[in-house]
Structure 1
Amino acid sequence: MSDFSDSNAVEKDPMTSDTTLVLPHLGEAEKGFQVRIEVVGDPIQDTEVQFSAEKEIDPEDDEWLGSPAHPRNWPATKKWTNMAIVSFYTCLPPLTSSMMAPGLQQIGQHFHETNPTIIAMSLSIILLAWVFSPLIIAPLSEMYGRRWLYHISNLLTLAFSLGCAFAPTMGSLIGFRFLSGIASAAPLALGGGSVADLFAEQDRASAMAIYILGPLLGPVIGPVAGGFVVQTIGYKYVFIIIAAISGVLAVLSIPFMDETYAPVVRMKYDIASGDPEKARNARRHLGPDVELGRWKFLWVNLSRPVILLTHSFICFILNLYMALVCGIYFLMFATFSELFTHTYGFDIGTSGLAYLGLGIGSIIASVFGARSSDKIYAYYRAKNNGVGKPEMRIPVLIIGSLFVPVGLLWYGWSADAKIHWIMPIIGTAIYGSGLMTCFLPVTLYLIDAFTYAASVTSAATVFRNMLGFTFPLFGSQMYKVLGVGGGNSLLAALAVVIGIPFPVWIWYKGEELRSRNPLNR
């Protein structure tokens, strides 16, 4: 994540009416430079955005970068306190999405719903909301800051979870689940940006591993707890418990969480500096410029994630692979309960324990991935005269991409052969370790390679949640036709085709492609 470092400026050509919006930033790898975004013609009508670098000459930048107020210069205790709060926040949305999974059959019976697609949609509809919501939330955080978006998201999640608990019909339950998804998307959209706010590239992997544990462990803890809740006191209390967790999190986080987005922090720093000129121009780091106009400036920011996703092949292909892997992940959540109750005779409560394999694999891989990523990055950085590159994240991704198909085949064929229940769970643990080992370097690569960390990570959620929504809808039908072994073999083949050659290609050609594409840093 690169921070704004100077005032926004708009240059207007009187002959052509073309507008150039200068959005300065300052990153570890490009200190002393700023990004120029040139919108040719009408900034609302046209989509052509050109980036160029020019030398930064503002002497205030050195003062700001060395200031204790800069988030990357905060004491370690303050940094990790904020990082822990972010991790708790990011654990809640996937907990919200998955805790009801063991109760799908009970929900269908309660609402007299027999269509398996509608029942599965009550689980996965929240992922459809996550497709759209981050595209708005992340750019807003790069205009007004991140802190209150976290808090507002959490409080709305509390309200809509209670709506789910007391929904009178299946349709209203699905509607409240969708609204809950809209509200709860902020931590998933902003977490990567918060990591980039607080930590430089060489220190980022460990913090990112803690952040990613939330989204990966939430869907594991949720079904384990949800299974026993559904079995003992009913599915409604799943949503009541989620609302209670949101309330506790609000009480703990609102007093202790700080704003981490550097332009907002710098605005407050300038206001508090005692310098009347700085105080007068404090908002220049955020804009909008008077000439550009508030609505045009808002359009430029809100369109940024879509531009990143559609104009950068690296961003597109990495997100396509993670979308496939995460889509399979949510397919497992939708089908575990049926598989382990029907094939292995688990009851609703103990069927939730089947999700532990994914959690154990993710935890092991998070430790391995963070340490390996830091060491490999430091090794190649040292070989490159101390200059880091995003491609130095790729070796860990290549390793992780091998685990994904192995885990899928192990899980699918051991369940198909009805071998002891521990065997498919071991397969899911292998898959979970592959998922985590892939997720970490992909997220780090995107943050390192693009200026706006929150926007690029929110763009990444589009594919992931789109497939996460659709996969459970056809999963049961696919397994009925192909069997668990055959269906997982098909998914493993897709993971091999997309996941293995492209990371190798990015390792060799990624820097060249980034140098040709102005959207990449």
Structure 2
Amino acid sequence: MTSTSSSLTHVPVADERSAAPSTEALSTLDHPGRGPSAIPEDKKEELLENLEDNWQDDPQNPRNWSSSKKWASAGVVSFYTFVSPLSSSIMAPGLPEIALKYGITNETLIAMTLSIFLISFAIGPLFLAPMSEMYGRRWILNICNLITIGFNLGCAFAPTSGALLGFRFLVGFSGSAPIACGGGVISDLFSERDRAAAMAIYSLGPLIGPVVGPIIGGFVTQTIGIKYVFIIVAGAGAAASAVGIPILRETYAPILRLEIAKKSADPEKAALEHPLLVTHHTSKLQYLWINLSRPAILLFGSLVCFMLSLYMAFMYGIYYLMFTTFATLFADIYGFDTGIGGLTYIGLGVGFLLATVFSARSANQIYLHLSKKNGGKGEPEMRIPALIFGSFFVPIGLFWYGWSAQARIHWIMPIIGSGIFGFGMMSTFLPIQLYLVDAFTYAASALSAASVFRSLLGFAFPLFGQQMFAALGNGGGNSLLGGLAIVLGIPFPIYIYYRGAQMRARGRLTR
């Protein structure tokens, strides 16, 4: 499908996956107030075709890198994406100690010390994703990780609850860089047919990081104190930077082609490569605003993006609700202390790992099988069957978890239920992210839109979770969530599978 501009303001920007701008982008060189182009009209198409043909075979094109070089960059990004969400939950088992240390008695405020991270984690990609398209993915990822290290140390030594909340907010903002840029890096490196495994590993970070966090945090809090959980996260971030700074290479094709064009001292070629960055046709502030608004345009201008993002956000909200309620549930019902209570998150982690191994392979096999039946041509909707399969496990896990805890059955039963939920969650996250990357012209912005939505619900759900379970019980509360998961997770993906291509054909935001 022909690429189109994804901004309703109709100011084109180079495609995230195609290094050459569209003919429409070339036409902006002649718009009033943006300066005339010295390229004759009859030469523009020829130049564009030549540039595109040359880039497809260029060894500097990230998709032509060696497998080891591709996976080195993908591995670094996945490491960053693991460390950052680790910060979000590592303090979860220590919430009672946080309340005691700072004299907090309000349950909502206690929960907010954990979940405020997710507010800025939602806001950050709106700024960092477009900045990565202006200045490159590598700079944003490396610099933001260094800043995150400093803010985590600020959390460790925060003198008041207000200071802790402030530093947690800032950690979330700078720590969102891997979410803002990581999916774009995977898209830069791998073609549609090859990216399932890399996307699965990348997607594992935001899910397994918050699971590992409480396991570490529980024992650290119990043995040496709550402030050391933040110091440990800062140390993990430092290790990530020690690996990432020397290894991670720039992958965003327009930036790479711009640098090549600059070295060639050919301004006309540079204008073709990335017109909004190298000419006076529009200011960088205007460009930032256009890109800043793009995730919101994608989210509210595309029903497909909105519904898939809503489903992801709903599951993410439940996920963080579990973080804030596990400690109370297993302490009150099963008598677990802080250290042992951290181990209860292993069920979620096992579910995620099993889904990563199984779903990555099956999702790719389904995609290749359907592509073969379609004459070798892949379509984004071929990602949806894997999503539908995974969506059945989400309500099953919630019903199992809630009612086994309600009945006070052996402690392994709610942990198994949480693992089934984790399997379903990961099995749906992967195909949704692959679909967004395949279907939308601006992959990083589409993923940022979904990230914003899910982080907002991840912040909101823990604030009312205790009250819901107090009113409905663990069985009733999780049954309500399971019923909503059925409504959101099954009918609409089936509709997308059959009608998604028609919806994309009508959209200005999609491929």
| Same fold by TM-score greater than 0.5 | yes
Distance 1:298 1:410 in 2: 46
Deviation at 1:250, TM superposition (A): 1.3
User: Does 1:268 find its partner at 2:224?
Assistant: no
2:117 counterpart (110, 119, 126): 126
User: Does 1:466 find its partner at 2:460?
Assistant: no
* Structure 2, gaps ≥5 residues long: 34-43
Distance 1:200 1:334 in 2: 39
User: Does 1:285 find its partner at 2:271?
Assistant: no
Give me the TM-score of the superposition, normalised by structure 1: 0.90
* 1:46-445 superposed matches below 5 A: 57-272=48-263, 275-277=264-266, 281=270, 284-285=273-274, 287-288=276-277, 289-445=279-435
Deviation at 1:519, TM superposition (A): 1.3
C-alpha spacing 1:250/1:389, structure 2 compared with 1 (3 Å): same
Deviation at 1:23, TM superposition (A): 3.2
C-alpha spacing 1:35/1:334, structure 2 compared with 1 (3 Å): farther
* Structure 1, gaps ≥5 residues long: 9-17, 44-53
Where is the helix percentage greater, Structure 1 or Structure 2?
2
**AA of the residue aligned to 1:23:** V
Deviation at 1:276, TM superposition (A): 3.3
C-alpha spacing 1:186/1:359, structure 2 compared with 1 (3 Å): same
- Matched residue count: 495
1:486 counterpart (476, 482, 488): 476
**AA of the residue aligned to 1:135:** L
Distance 2:151 2:186 in 1: 28
Distance 1:378 1:62 in 2: 26
Distance 2:501 2:484 in 1: 26
C-alpha spacing 1:168/1:20, structure 2 compared with 1 (3 Å): closer
Distance 1:109 1:26 in 2: 48
C-alpha spacing 1:244/1:488, structure 2 compared with 1 (3 Å): same
CA contact (8 A) 1:381 1:387 kept: yes
CA contact (8 A) 2:3 2:510 kept: no
Per-residue CA deviation, residues 99-130 of structure 1 (Å, 9 max, x unaligned), is: 00000011111111111100000000000111
**AA of the residue aligned to 1:344:** Y
Per-residue CA deviation, residues 353-391 of structure 1 (Å, 9 max, x unaligned), is: 000000000000111110011100001111111111100
C-alpha spacing 1:459/1:479, structure 2 compared with 1 (3 Å): same
**AA of the residue aligned to 1:64:** W
Distance 1:38 1:390 in 2: 29
- For the residue of structure 1 that corresponds to 2:392, the secondary structure is helix
- For the residue of structure 2 that corresponds to 1:168, the secondary structure is coil
Deviation at 1:147, TM superposition (A): 0.4
Alignment match, 2:38: none
Of 261-270 and 510-519, more deviation after overlay is shown by 261-270
Deviation at 1:42, TM superposition (A): 12
Distance 2:94 2:476 in 1: 27
Distance 1:510 1:283 in 2: 32
Deviation at 1:296, TM superposition (A): 2.3
Alignment match, 1:13: none
Deviation at 1:295, TM superposition (A): 2.7
Of 168-177 and 291-300, more deviation after overlay is shown by 291-300
Deviation at 1:463, TM superposition (A): 1.2
Alignment match, 1:501: 491
**AA of the residue aligned to 1:312:** S
C-alpha spacing 1:27/1:260, structure 2 compared with 1 (3 Å): closer
Deviation at 1:268, TM superposition (A): 2.4
Deviation at 1:294, TM superposition (A): 3.0
Distance 1:19 1:181 in 2: 30
C-alpha spacing 1:252/1:286, structure 2 compared with 1 (3 Å): farther
CA contact (8 A) 2:17 2:253 kept: no
Deviation at 1:21, TM superposition (A): 3.7
Distance 1:26 1:304 in 2: 13
Of 285-294 and 82-91, more deviation after overlay is shown by 285-294
CA contact (8 A) 1:126 1:181 kept: yes
Distance 1:152 1:266 in 2: 22
Deviation at 1:3, TM superposition (A): 10
Per-residue CA deviation, residues 461-498 of structure 1 (Å, 9 max, x unaligned), is: 11101100010011111111111111000100110111
Distance 1:283 1:294 in 2: 17
CA RMSD of aligned residues (A): 2.6
**AA of the residue aligned to 2:472:** L
- For the residue of structure 2 that corresponds to 1:218, the secondary structure is helix
Alignment match, 1:454: 444
CA contact (8 A) 1:209 1:440 kept: yes
- For the residue of structure 2 that corresponds to 1:260, the secondary structure is coil
Alignment match, 1:49: none
CA contact (8 A) 1:217 1:362 kept: yes
Query: Relative contact order (alpha carbons < 8 A, sep ≥ 6): 1 or 2 greater?
Result: 2
Per-residue CA deviation, residues 78-102 of structure 1 (Å, 9 max, x unaligned), is: 0001111001000012100000000
Distance 2:274 2:253 in 1: 9
**AA of the residue aligned to 2:276:** G
